[in-house]
């Protein structure tokens, strides 16, 4: 699967999510991983995000790019 095909697939998979997701939604998008794991990914800047007040906000496109990059490393 090419990077473009993977990106298009993820866009279809995540149509029910808003353009900017929170930690809980990101965990669901990544396959129901724990909030602790999600926060670690965000703090390590593996998935670009914004920190506003006490909340992480993550653009959905950043999640798609992260998952697409994983596809390439697995292949």
Which residues touch 26 (CB under 8 Å, ≥6 apart)?
38, 42, 47, 56, 58, 63
Per-residue pLDDT tens for 58-70?
999 999 999 998 8
Q: What is the pTM of this model?
A: 0.86
Per-residue pLDDT tens for 4-51?
888 888 889 999 999 999 999 999 999 999 999 999 999 999 999 999
Report all structural domains of the chain as residue ranges with CATH numbers, in order of start.
3-74 (1.10.10)
How far is residue 9's CA from residue 52's CA, in Å, rounded to a whole number? 30
Distances in whole angstroms, Cα of residue 27 to Cα of each of 3, 4, 67: 22, 23, 13
Confidence at residue 73, expressed as pLDDT on a 0 to 100 scale: 56
């Amino acid at each position: 699967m090419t990077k473009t095909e993977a990106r298009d697939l993820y866009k279809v998979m995540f149509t029910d999510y808003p353009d900017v997701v929170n930690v809980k939604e990101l965990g669901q998008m990544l396959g129901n991983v724990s909030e602790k794991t999600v926060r670690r990914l965000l703090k390590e800047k593996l998935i670009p995000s914004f920190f506003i007040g006490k909340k992480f906000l993550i653009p959905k496109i950043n999640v798609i790019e992260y998952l697409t990059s994983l596809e390439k490393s697995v292949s």
